[in-house]
Amino acid sequence: MRSGNWYRSVLFSLCACLSSPVIWSVTAFGEEPAETEPVIETVETREVVISATKTPVPVSHLTSAVEVITGEDLERRQVKTVVDALRLSQGLTVFSNGGPGTSSTVRIRGSNADQVLVLIDGAIMNSTTLGSFNFANLTTDNIERIEILRGAQSMLWGADAMGGVINITTKKGTGSPSASAFFEYGSFSSIREGGQVSGKTGPVDFSVALSRWDYTGFSAVNYRRGASERDGFHNWQTSARLGVALPYEGRLDFNFRLLQGRTDIDGGFSPGFDTLGAFTNSQQFVYSASYNQPITTWWNQVLTVSRQTENSETSSGTTQRNVQTGAVSGAFLFRSQIDTLANRVEWQHNFQLGKPLLLSAGYQFRDQQGENRNLLTNNLDIPHKVLSSHAGFAQAQLNLWDRVFATAGVRQDEYNAFGGATTYRATAGYLHQETDTKVRSSYATGFRAPTFNQLYFPDFGNLNLKPEKSQSMDIGVDQYLLDNRLTLSGGFFWNRFRDMIVAQESATTCGVGPFGPNFCAQNIGLVSTKGWEASVKYAVVKDVPFIKSLDVQAQYTNTLTRNLEQQPGNRVPRIPVDQWSLIVSYQPINPVRINLEGRYVGSRLNDVNNLEPMRAFDVWNLSASYDVTNRVQTYLRADNIFNEKYEEVRLFGTPVRSIFVGVRVNYDAK
């Protein structure tokens, strides 16, 4: 599609999101729960988190393992993509099949990527066909915060939340109307440009952003293995949030986001292939609306409505070159078109029964639809299918004297394809206010519903599948010192995943193909993960000569995984035992800021048979910004400054030393 026509289609979709009478009429009932902020006493002035309970809770009162990344953090560190920010997070393991734009997935505490629920403004982003969310096209533009919730969360969030939840929120407009724009150029002929308009006028606030990224790139299959073709990436992203303050402390929010990317890809089968003409082209539209309205002083209701659609085309290309032998051959031809949509409606009521007890109860409807078309034959590999569910949940939160905290809840999900699943969760915590020490613990069960591919894909799908299930527990200690300038945290976690859906030969279940029994999806996996987590956040110095501020943040995760069924005693593929990250932010004077980031990923095994070891690596990035005036900022970012040679996924390439420079311009209408 020509860029001009595409730009007009974006503007049309954006206007439709903000003005469609259908959206207005449906969403006159709901609101983004993240905006509900009750009066908080002095002891509770630390950051408020939403995801852990679906109600605002100060960090000092949390009984769950949560990490928050703010939009300000992302801007200060000049981070371009959400997946790059998640690489430095506690307990997360990130994999990319090449450079920017290639498939990028996230695991939490040794779980699979399809066991991590990802939401943007209340819309579920997990793929209907694969189950996981591909972060490839998601940039950090116009993001207000990312909340990462570790451990099984199915009781509140339903299917796909066995390993945890990543909840992403678009920025809310504040202050007088303002506009900003940026331009960036760097290695691999990378060009980024974009702009944003935001502000608040009377009861209405708004934030709208549009950006573009063109990247010539490098070979998706590692060039050090003999690949030479450049695989490019082209990305468009637009997002908008419109909020309206209503009488009696009500609020109405409309959200829209478009993620579009075209990426050149290579064949990853050993020993790796340079594939000519292979690409993926994906376009995702995310619409959501929410409405929050207090009914009385002790009762409020929240309604969230969302829809996420994805159109994805993948082509195998025409020819491929074996990177080991140099032999050129025809590619295994395929060209597919996958069209999916995911709807979600959730209505939650919160009842504050005095100060000690908050009761929440809610209903969720979830609907997934999709089809998979073979464009070479124009046949449907998966005809139009619908996977829907109804769920009810209830939760109690206890707060005694701002010292003793507890939550307990239960949920029942009913699916049209395989029946029901019951999950529950209980947490407890104690804050010793005299020493600012908090002890917390949780125990939960989780489940994951089979995906379209696992149920319906020809010669692979299995209609007799059951949902995957899990048990999860953790215990931790958080210590606040030096007037909250220093935070220490440590803990232990344990997970057990059973009835995991894996591919295995079965002539009786999947039939026999030309090469023998077909591989098909079966509930035979059993995996255990456990480990330790530790983190530190320290505002070392503030407002002294030559140091305006110096902040240090570090985390370490130890994860032990064991396959208990298929290959008893073997480690789970690609999960490192040890990984850590470090972020140092130094501001010598007001206009200047320097950031150093480092991460270490320990040795791991690429396959279920544990026959393909992958070496450990560490990567360091450096960024700096200078405020030329209060309206103009220049910045520089250098990635992989020591030119580390590494692979996140075996055979696939990663960036060499890369440098990017840019400028931002801000204009305040006031």
The pLDDT confidence band at residue 46, using thresholds 50, 70 and 90, is low
Is 62 in contact with 52 (CB distance < 8 Å)?
Answer: yes
User: How far apart, in whole angstroms, are the C-alpha atoms of residue 142 and residue 72?
Assistant: 10
Helix (H, G, I), strand (E, B) or coil at 510: helix
CB atoms within 10 A of CB 439: 16
- 79 Cβ contact list (under 8 Å, min separation 6): 73, 85, 140
Instruction: Give the separation between CA 375 and CA 481, rounded to whole angstroms.
Output: 61
What per-residue confidence (pLDDT) applies to 514?
A: 61
Distances, alpha carbon 282 to alpha carbons 178, 259, 314, in Å: 32, 8, 9
CA 655 to CA 217: how far, in whole Å? 9
**Secondary structure element (H or E) that encloses residue 346, with its range:** strand 335-353
Q: Residue 6: is its pLDDT beyond 70?
A: no
pLDDT interval class at 377 (50, 70, 90) = confident
- Listed in order, strand segments (DSSP E) in 434-467 are 437-448
Q: DSSP letter string over 521-538? A: EEEEEEEEEEEEEEEEEE
Cα separation, 552 vs 528, in Å, equals: 33
For residue 134, pLDDT beyond 90: yes
Mean pLDDT across 226-253: 94
Lowest mean pLDDT across 17-31, 230-244, 432-446: 17-31
Which tokens in the block code for residue 665? Answer: 């311009």
Q: Are strands 547-563 and 92-96 parallel, antiparallel or unpaired?
A: unpaired
pLDDT bracket for residue 267 (50, 70, 90): confident
- Give the sign of the dihedral formed by CA 43, CA 44, CA 47, CA 51: positive
pLDDT, the chain, mean: 90
Question: Of 442, 426, 564, nearest to 491 (Cα)?
Answer: 442
Residue found by looking up tokens 């440098």 in the block: 659
* 419: amino acid identity, one letter: G
pLDDT of residue 11 exceeding 80: no
Q: Which of 17-21, 146-150, 200-204, 395-399 has the lowest mean pLDDT?
A: 17-21
Question: Given pLDDT bands bounded at 50, 70 and 90, which one contains residue 450?
Answer: very high
The structure tokens 């993240």 sit at 34
Per-residue pLDDT averaged across 371-400, rounded? 93
545 or 74, which is more confident: 74
Predicted TM-score (pTM) of the model is 0.91
pLDDT tens figures, 169-205: 999 999 999 999 999 999 999 999 999 999 999 999 9
State yes or no: pLDDT of 376 exceeds 60.
yes
Interatomic CA distance for residues 238 and 141, integer angstroms:
8
Is the pLDDT assigned to residue 483 strictly greater than 80? Answer: yes
State residue 272's pLDDT score.
87
Three-state DSSP at 6 gives: helix
- Using one digit for the tens of pLDDT, what is the confidence trace for 486-498? 999 999 999 999 9
Per-residue pLDDT at 567: 85
The residue ranges of every structural domain in the chain are: 3-668
Which string of b and e fits 580-595 if b means at least 16 CB within 10 Å? bbbbbbbbeeeeebbb
Please state, in angstroms and rounded to a whole number, the distance separating the CA atoms of residues 473 and 485. Answer: 29
- Model confidence at 15, pLDDT cuts 50, 70, 90, reads very low
Report pLDDT for 166: 97
Taking residues 566-588, report their average pLDDT.
94
pLDDT over 70, % of the chain: 92
Residues 6 or more apart whose Cβ sits within 8 Å of residue 565: 524, 525, 526, 527
Confidence at residue 566, expressed as pLDDT on a 0 to 100 scale: 80
Superfamily of domain 3-668: TonB-dependent receptor, beta-barrel domain (2.40.170.20)
